[in-house]
């Protein structure tokens, strides 16, 4: 039954995330926001909603390992697994990652690791600091110059738009609850920590919107969109999800969270920036990303056995 709950929860998260993103983009177009803002804020936030609701639900349910593991594991999977797969399909150029985008990725990563290492609990003060940084990030994104971009035509009515938004949000909430309950049950049944479940099954599951977006973009020859999606999602995961969750309910840092997990969060960002400095992430680099991720999952399996 726990496995069924996880599968249904993941399906609801994927469907709800898709609906929320479609409705959110339609709302942004109706408000005449430039597409740069739509991509950086609306899509970045929308594809991170599964992680947000899952982490909040986990923290409220007393499963801090899933709450924190989901955020860290999603950021690792976004770079090593999802971007690795996208690069295998089509080389990813660095054009979609400006200097400020890279700086925000570095700052968010440092802040996320810092609030976890600073004490035994990620409390409301730390959460408020992350949310303040998120507000600054969104303000900077809204300040982007979109004057040279064509304004898309409104293609969705108000009623369908609201249905997508409200229906997507309700579906996400249901999916997050099922996923947390099922994942917690699996962890208890097979005797491994909720943190490992959060870093793997839950993290990859809640990253399905990013996976779908990046793979579709790569297959259409727009691999740069995959990179922009990953950068924005990773920033939101830390600043918005970890920040909001900690403000709602302080999160005890799980004992099962190791320095290796935190090192790989930082290391994956460093690896990404290294290849971006060369101007592209080719198929060889994509295969390397996937190999590192496979090694990490293998290490988790052995260490939790």
Predicted local confidence at residue 295, as pLDDT? 93
As beta bridge partners, residue 92 has 281
H helix or E strand, kind and range, residue 92: strand 92-93
Q: What's the farthest any 2 CA atoms get from each other in the chain?
A: 56
How many CA atoms lie less than 13 Å away from 147 in the CB half-sphere?
A: 2
pLDDT at position 290 is 94
Q: How far apart are CA 210 and CA 48, in angstroms?
A: 8
Query: 238 near 105, Cβ under 8 Å?
Result: no
Angle at 145 between CA 141 and CA 150, to 5 degrees: 115
Spatial CA neighbour of 233 closest among 28, 41, 87: 41
Helix axes 49-60, 158-190, angle to 10 degrees: 50
Q: What confidence score (pLDDT) does residue 266 get? A: 96
Predicted pLDDT of residue 38? 60
How much is the pLDDT for 270? 95
pLDDT value, residue 291: 95
In this predicted structure, what is the pLDDT of residue 223? 62
Q: Are 185 and 22 in contact (CB under 8 A)?
A: no
Q: How far is CA 236 from CA 157, 189, 280, 295, in A?
A: 28, 32, 24, 26
**How many Cα atoms within 13 Å fall on the side-chain side of residue 53?**
29
pLDDT at 42: 65
Whole-model pTM: value is: 0.81
Residues in the chain predicted with pLDDT less than 70, given as ranges, are 17, 20-21, 28, 33-44, 46-47, 96, 144-155, 213, 216-217, 220-226, 305
């Amino acid at each position: 039954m726990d496995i069924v709950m996880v599968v249904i929860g993941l399906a609801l998260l994927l469907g709800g995330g898709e609906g929320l993103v479609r409705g959110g983009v339609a709302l942004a177009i109706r408000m005449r926001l430039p597409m740069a803002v739509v991509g950086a804020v609306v899509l970045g936030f929308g594809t991170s909603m599964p992680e947000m609701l899952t982490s909040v639900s986990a923290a409220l349910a007393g499963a801090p390992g899933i709450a924190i593991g989901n955020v860290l594991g999603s950021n690792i999977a976004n770079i090593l697994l999802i971007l690795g797969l996208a690069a295998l399909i089509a080389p990813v150029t660095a054009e979609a990652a400006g200097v400020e985008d890279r700086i925000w990725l570095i700052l968010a990563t440092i802040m996320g690791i810092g609030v976890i290492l600073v004490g035994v609990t990620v409390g409301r003060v730390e959460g408020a600091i992350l949310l303040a940084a998120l507000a600054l990030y969104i303000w900077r994104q809204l300040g982007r110059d979109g004057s040279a971009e064509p304004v898309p035509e409104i293609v969705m009515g108000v009623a369908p738009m609201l249905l997508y938004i409200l229906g997507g949000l309700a579906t996400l909430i249901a999916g997050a609850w099922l996923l947390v309950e099922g994942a917690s049950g699996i962890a208890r049944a097979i005797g491994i920590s909720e943190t490992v479940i959060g870093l793997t099954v839950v993290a990859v599951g809640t990253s399905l919107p990013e996976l779908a977006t990046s793979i579709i973009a790569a297959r259409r020859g727009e691999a740069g969109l995959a990179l922009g999606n990953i950068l924005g999602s990773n920033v939101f995961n830390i600043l918005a999800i970890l920040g909001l969750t900690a403000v709602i309910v302080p999160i005890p840092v799980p004992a099962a969270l190791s320095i290796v997990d935190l090192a790989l969060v930082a290391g994956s960002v460093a690896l990404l920036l290294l290849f971006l400095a060369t101007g592209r992430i080719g198929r060889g680099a994509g295969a390397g990303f996937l190999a590192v991720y496979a090694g990490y999952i293998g290490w988790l399996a052995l260490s939790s056995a």
